[in-house]
Amino acid sequence: MNKQKNDFLELEHTYMQLPNVFFSKQVPSLVPNPKLVIFNDALAETLGINEAAFKSDEGVQVLAGNTLLGPSIAQAYAGHQFGYFTMLGDGRAVLLGEYQAPDGILYDVQLKGSGRTPYSRRGDGKAALGPMLREYIISEGMYGLGIPTTRSLAVVTTGEQIRRETMLEGAILTRLAKSHIRVGTFQYAARYGTLGDLKALADYTVGRHFRETQAIKTNEKEDNPYIDLLRQVISRQAKLISKWQLVGFIHGVMNTDNMTISGETIDYGPCAFMDTYHSKTVFSSIDEAGRYAYGNQPAMAAWNLTRFAEALLPLLHENEEQAVLIAQSELEQFEKLYKTYWQQGICAKLGFQEVTKENMLLVKRLLELMESHEADYTNTFRLLTIGEEKLLDFWQAEEGKAWWEEWQKSLSVQNRTKEDIKKIMMAHNPVVIPRNHQVEAALSDATQAHDLSKLHKLLEVLKNPYDYSKDYGTYISVPKSNGCGYRTFCGT
């Protein structure tokens, strides 16, 4: 499909080449008085996007959805929400098209909070300023931490008030993603589409995200490309979830419609970062049973991937029993891959060159000490990195000192200098994360006083979270309550 030429973004519309069952043509709702709140200059520069054009009056109209760059759609998908299957879709988002970056990668350009669609159910399709700025902050924080994520290009206010528990200022987020294809998209195709629809979606996904398997293979000795699709999605998700766990990130709503095939983190609703280390930490106000607690995230990822494999069964083998055996064989790799990625990461956080039984026992004992002494997750590893272990509460206890001595002994037998060990630890232990209390303070000023100074300062700090040469001041401090009782909300 030809690109739509304009002064802002030349967009392609490859997703619209899929069968019509996968989307509905949808224009954003007109908004009365859009104003630019924040624009991601760094992202625009990286992707070759015309920053000046979007900051103009005409550009703000584009970011608000009042001016279209071509045909726009709302995507259809389904999914398991807290374990229960339901029909879903873009209930408050519109896909404007795909932008090709200078490196050739296509990025979806989506407006979030742009009004009702055929999939809105009882929702108004709108979004409030606070949650949209929150997604902007957290997604940029994740990017700084080196974790695959969707990115936020801009937030505009709409000039409207929207009703939630109270009346709130309306806003629209412009989100970029390598695609918005989800596990739930495949579930939708398997449940509501034909085999041809499912195959079309799989072929499109392979071509967009897994070019090395794009050609549908005809040689019987070669792998089925759909098996390879399942295999690669499993690998990407194993790596992604390990990265979440290593920095204490809790997504909060790991439904199958919130797991992307591309391996990007998506939908920053009730997410948060852990302060006090505890495997059962939950922040989401709607996760009353702790289904998506910090310690459950790897298992929930495996559960979601099982739903993905179920959707792919007709493509894995024409014989259902054989298809199930293939799926089971591939799914078994998730735990192994996740364990490998996480163990390598956690050992690097402690300066270990290799994953050994002895090193993993030290990791286990450290996490037990952290949990029993209610230690801050990020600051524990930061203080160990810079040699300030005496500031840790558990170091004052005999078992803490004993652990530290054994850790030092294990490091000493490695064929590396102390400086090399420190460099590895610095590369894997962030100094700063998007602390929940700091995010809330920035959002409070932005939404109540239209003062974005705290927000901009926080974003600047989060650009280089592994830079130990900087003085981050209060950004490394923990809240007085140390995160206890903090609750997040989905913002819908």
Yes or no: say if 447 and 471 are a contact pair by the CB < 8 Å rule. Answer: no
C-beta separation of 145 from 119 below 8 A: no
263/67 Cα distance (integer angstroms): 31
With contact defined as beta carbons under 8 Å apart, do 51 and 63 qualify? Answer: no
Give yes or no for residue 233 having a pLDDT over 60. yes
- Backbone φ and ψ of 114, nearest 5°: -95, 15
Integer Cα distance of 370 and 376 in angstroms = 8
For residues 44 and 180, give the distance between their C-alpha atoms in angstroms, rounded to a whole number.
20
Average model confidence (pLDDT) for the chain?
94
As a dihedral over the C-alpha atoms of residue 399, residue 401, residue 405, residue 408, rounded to 10 degrees, the angle is 110
Distances (CA, A) of 463 to 451, 457, 459: 20, 10, 6
User: Around Cβ 321, how many Cβ atoms within 10 Å?
Assistant: 8
Name the H helices within 108-224: 129-144, 183-192, 195-209
Whether pLDDT at 422 is above 80: yes
pLDDT computed for residue 479 by the predictor: 83
The pLDDT assigned to 485 comes to 58
Contacts of 89 (CB under 8 A, 6+ apart): 24, 74, 75, 76, 77, 117, 118, 119
The pLDDT value recorded for residue 221 is 44
Q: Looking at per-residue confidence, does 236 or 485 come out higher?
A: 236
Can you tell me the distance from the alpha carbon of 401 to that of 185, in angstroms, rounded to the nearest whole number? 51
The answer to whether residue 245 scores a pLDDT higher than 70 is yes
**CB-neighbour burial class of residue 33 (10 A; exposed 0-12, middle 13-18, buried 19+):** exposed
Question: Residue 354: what pLDDT?
Answer: 95
Query: How many whole angstroms separate alpha carbon 24 and alpha carbon 91?
Result: 11
> What pLDDT shows up at residue 482?
52
Q: What is the pLDDT of residue 3?
A: 65
Rounded distance, CA 272 to CA 191, Å? 33
Domain positions in the chain are 11-180, 184-347
Whether 257 is catalytic is yes
The mean pLDDT value for 68-75 works out to 96
* Measured distance between the N- and C-terminal CA atoms of the chain, rounded to whole angstroms: 34
Q: Is the pLDDT of residue 284 over 90?
A: no
Instruction: Tell me the mean pLDDT in the region 393-408.
Output: 94
Confidence of residue 165 (pLDDT cuts 50, 70, 90): confident
Contacts of 37 (CB under 8 A, 6+ apart): 129, 133, 154, 155, 156, 157, 171, 446, 452
Looking at the chain, how many residues does it have?
492
Higher pLDDT, 245 or 492: 245
Q: What is the mean pLDDT of residues 330-354?
A: 98
User: Looking at residue 396, what is its pLDDT?
Assistant: 86
Q: Which residue has the tokens 């806003």?
A: 171
Q: How many CB atoms lie within 10 A of CB 32?
A: 10
pLDDT at 373: 95
| Closest listed residue to residue 431, CA positions, set 247, 244, 241 | 247
CA atoms within 13 A on the CB side of 263: 21
- pLDDT, position 157: 98
Res 223: pLDDT = 77
Q: Select which of 90, 108, 197, 257 is catalytic.
A: 257
What mean pLDDT comes out for the span 72-78?
98
- Residue pLDDT, tens place only, 288-329: 899 999 999 999 999 999 999 999 999 999 999 999 999 999
